[in-house]
Structure 1
Amino acid sequence: MNTPDGDGPPADVAVIGLGVMGANLARNLARHGHRVAVHDRLPAKGTALLAQHGHEGHLLLTGTLRELSARLTRPRRVLLLVPAGAATDAAIDALTDVLEPGDVLVDCGNAHADDTERRAAVLRSRGLHLVGAGVSGGEEGALRGPSIMAGGTEHAWDAVRPLLESVAARAGTAVCCARVGPGGTGHFAKTVHNGIEYAVMQALAETCDLVLRRTDRGHTGLADLLTRWNKGRLGSYLVALTAAAAARVDPVTGTPFLDVVDDAAHQLGTGRWAAQAALDLGVPAAPLTQAVFARSLSRDREGRAAVRGALGPLRVTRARSGAEPAETDLHDGLLAATAVAYAQGLDTVRAADAARGRVTDLVRLTGLWRAGCVIRGRLLDQIADTLAARPDTPHLLAAEPLAHIVRTGTEALRRVVLDAVATGVPVPALASVLSHLDQLRTPRLATAMVQAQRDAMGAHGYRRVDRVGTYHTRWNGDGAEIRLDA
């Protein structure tokens, strides 16, 4: 590569935005032998980074974007880790003043795929390249090896691929870093990943709530249960961190940590984007949307208090010995719910492909999720293997081993949900999974009545099961049936 302008040795790559994720990714790059120019709009962040971690590798602090640009080899490669939305647009606008045609900008934030497409088009008109990279794994992943889902042109990807592959997670010998497709496909894959994450987290939380409310295990017993589950088919990053949360004792009060945590759950938008995408594409992703709704409802303090005051608080009693939800039912029901969450996420990717006329390699995508990312786990390993063996399967839940997991888990989940409903423990995600599975297995759905209703109120027509064509009944006339497409 060419030597940059300015004093001092050249930098291979720049990282802009030195929050936890940006700082850790910069450290990761430096640890792997790259010379990293770093910059943040708050100079103190860069100073602190070098003071604490400058010994880990070549970290070059720059005071301005122009100085940063001058320190980079060409074509310049700049990784952007700033908040999604207006902050990303502002940073890109500022960078276009100091970058040159041929340079590559990598947006490593949680961006909406449509925004990535828009930004790529603007940068392309100026001769610049944009790679939209979904980065999963949180602060620990950014430092020790994240899962990276990239989107953009092959030319742009080739320019940054060696850098990103060098710091990505490994699943055995496979690198969890790849170009998923053009444009915003990388960020869309990360959005779906986060939707799955929302659904699994909510199902896990509801299962834990049932254990705490309906059994005598307590927080220590719940932690022990989750730790055992983590050694088996439910083994995953999310189960492990949930066990740690259950086991933690608050150092201030000496009470279980979960008892002092506010139940108003926040969200940064990616789960909502995934739910919106599923709705727009017609994908029935009920657990995902219920997880988003659960977080939204949790933050409605005033509304919750008003209803609780008017109707009275729910009082859940502990189950009598032998009457509490069975451990095997809780396990198998949660496993089935997790399988459904993964399947619905991948269905959303397929539907997006069909709508945009592209094909995402689901085998490769699930391979990227096998290490480094938040939704990694043994069940996902099975899903990846299933897709590799049967890439054309019309529905993941119809392919083994997921079909077996769902078969055995459905009745277990039914018993868990029945107990929750009977005793007043809210389980919106688990109940939606059960309803989803029941709908898939029912030969005749209630939507036949919906079709009749639509025709009666708006003459929208309906199809029949006994002959071809689209028909309409003259409901307000003589009641005769006429064929609309004759």
Structure 2
Amino acid sequence: MNDAADGIDDTQGESTARATIGLTGLAVMGSNLARNIARHGHTIAVHNRTTSRMTAMLEEHGDEGDFVGAESLEDFVAAIEKPRVVLVMVKAGPGTDAVIDDLVPLLEDGDIVVDCGNAHYADTLRREERLKEHGLHFVGTGVSGGEVGALNGPSIMVGGTDQAYERLGPIMESIAAQVDGEPCCAHVGEGGAGHFVKMVHNGIEYADMQLIAESYDLLRSVLGLSPAEIADVFKQWNEGELESFLIQMTADVLRHTDAATGQPFVDVVQDAAEQKGTGRWTVQSALDLGVPITGIAEATFARSLSGHADQRAAAREVYSTSPEGERVDRDRDEFVDAVQKALYASKIVAYAQGFDQIAKGAEEHGWDVDLGQVAKIWRDGCIIRARFLGRITEAYAAEPDLTTLLTTEYFATAVKEGVDAWRDVVATAARTGVPTPAFSSSLAYFDGLRRERLPAALIQALRDNFGAHTYQRVDREGTFHTLWAGDLSETEA
């Protein structure tokens, strides 16, 4: 319901604020999140810079719950019970800073500003410090699940202080997706932890989608299957360990026929994948932290490559437009099974690398992040929701200080059972000229991880030779340098 017939409540002059929470920024995500909150029995104040958008939302959805509309930020803030909780749902970057600049003078000690956009966690850290100077709590919160999730129950990753979560948490937990009676919402850590975890979630999402795309490409290029036939394959895969939102969605997309041309829908979509930046941020952060996330990185670079239309056109003029590899005659069922196993093994690597990055980021910033809890709140509501996230939760519950997911019994067994097929698929891709950067890099990471001795020893020797960067030995403690330009004697550095 609304307080005013025109959908706008003039709160000016009211002595009692009655909204439990407020939200500014009513584009699709913000509008859906506000509706979700109202549907769960919370009175919510809503505001948008363009008043007509707010009015339209209330006219269309005002009967879904108790909304308090406000034309001005002053009226909006006045409508919220203290300590105020204000959700900001605007475009990340300067737009968020502009809204915060307008809000700060209107707020009081102890009020809470919650950024629910896809912000870079470094911006969250900066904003948190700035608002702390004004006696305000700033909470970076990752919300995953897209427009549908925002309305029906997203996965929510909340950062900020314990004190802020005491006020904010019950509301967010009530609107989140639920699994076995548990909300897919948690206070994942202090400071920028919420946006950091959401960033890595999106990086894993990049890897997941690239691996799915490579699987599709292999089945089509090597076996010659049609999109509709591949849709049936993915539907079958979704009934086993690969069950996930993205696998199910892939089957739906590949089965779809374009109404205008009658062609498979996937064939009329340009093959240039866009990105909004979270995958790139994930890779940049991993480089800073020294964490190898090869599957996520290659997935991000694959999107970049797809968008280099001029380079791709120039290359096609020089090289064959079809893969310059040998033709292979593969048994259909055998190869489908091999690709399934390769996909699962590569997926395990991508998630293992993502959780490694979260652990390292938490260590670097002093956040107390429960990795098992992160996996638990990703089981539903978010884009990468999948059956095997329950396995990750179990792994960290059994061993909280787990070095890598790849060494746990369940995942180690899955990789061991699939590694021969994994190698077969990568080799077949290389022979037939089908690019599989995520499959190949994930396999290389696995081989590097399990190798007793890596060629990094030669790299260290070369670094010492040209730059006197020193090295350590395997047979005694210390740091050493060889006089390469002199008598080749060794000195202790």
Mark yes or no: TM-score above 0.5.
yes
Which residue, out of 136, 155, 171, partners 1:163? 171
Match of 2:87, SS state, is strand
Q: Which runs of 5+ in 1 are unaligned?
A: none
Which residue, out of 311, 328, 344, partners 1:335? 344
Alignment-derived partner of residue 405 in structure 1: 414
Question: 1:222 and 1:59 mapped to 2: Cα distance?
Answer: 46
Match of 1:456, SS state, is helix
Which letter does structure 2 place at the counterpart of 1:88?
A: T
RMSD: 1.8
CA shift, 1:386, in A, is 1.1
Within 5 A, what are the aligned runs for 1:5-16? Answer: 5-6=13-14, 10-16=18-24
Is the contact between residue 4 and residue 10 of structure 1 (CA under 8 Å) also seen in structure 2?
Answer: no
Which letter does structure 2 place at the counterpart of 1:327?
A: V
Which letter does structure 1 place at the counterpart of 2:242?
A: L
Within 5 A, what are the aligned runs for 1:66-85? Answer: 66-85=74-93
Match of 1:249, SS state, is coil
TM-score normalised by the chain length of structure 2: 0.94
Within 5 A, what are the aligned runs for 1:369-408? Answer: 369-408=378-417
Question: 2:399 and 2:82 mapped to 1: Cα distance?
Answer: 43
Which letter does structure 1 place at the counterpart of 2:340?
A: H
Alignment-derived partner of residue 220 in structure 1: 228
Match of 1:55, SS state, is helix
Match of 2:341, SS state, is helix
- Does residue 422 (structure 1) correspond to residue 422 (structure 2)? The answer is no
CA shift, 1:43, in A, is 2.3
Is the contact between residue 370 and residue 376 of structure 1 (CA under 8 Å) also seen in structure 2?
Answer: yes
Within 5 A, what are the aligned runs for 1:16-415? Answer: 16-315=24-323, 319-320=328-329, 322=331, 326-415=335-424
% identical aligned pairs: 48
Deviates more, 1:131-140 or 1:95-104: 95-104
* Distance of aligned partners of 1:154 and 1:359 in 2 relative to their CA distance in 1, 3 Å threshold: closer
Is the contact between residue 13 and residue 78 of structure 1 (CA under 8 Å) also seen in structure 2?
Answer: yes
Deviations 1:261-291 (A, max 9, x none): 1111111111111111111111111011111
Is the contact between residue 188 and residue 368 of structure 2 (CA under 8 Å) also seen in structure 1?
Answer: no
Question: 2:478 and 2:170 mapped to 1: Cα distance?
Answer: 56
Q: Which runs of 5+ in 2 are unaligned?
A: 1-10
TM-score normalised by the chain length of structure 1: 0.96
CA shift, 1:10, in A, is 2.3
Question: 1:369 and 1:137 mapped to 2: Cα distance?
Answer: 10
Question: 2:17 and 2:395 mapped to 1: Cα distance?
Answer: 49
Is the contact between residue 6 and residue 67 of structure 1 (CA under 8 Å) also seen in structure 2?
Answer: no
CA shift, 1:307, in A, is 2.0
Which letter does structure 1 place at the counterpart of 2:472?
A: R
Is the contact between residue 89 and residue 116 of structure 2 (CA under 8 Å) also seen in structure 1?
Answer: yes
Is the contact between residue 24 and residue 142 of structure 1 (CA under 8 Å) also seen in structure 2?
Answer: yes
Question: 1:198 and 1:318 mapped to 2: Cα distance?
Answer: 30
Match of 1:445, SS state, is coil
Question: 1:323 and 1:207 mapped to 2: Cα distance?
Answer: 14
Structure 1 ranges of 4+ moved more than 6 A: none
Alignment-derived partner of residue 3 in structure 2: none
Which letter does structure 2 place at the counterpart of 1:135?
A: V
CA shift, 1:42, in A, is 2.3
Is the contact between residue 190 and residue 367 of structure 2 (CA under 8 Å) also seen in structure 1?
Answer: no
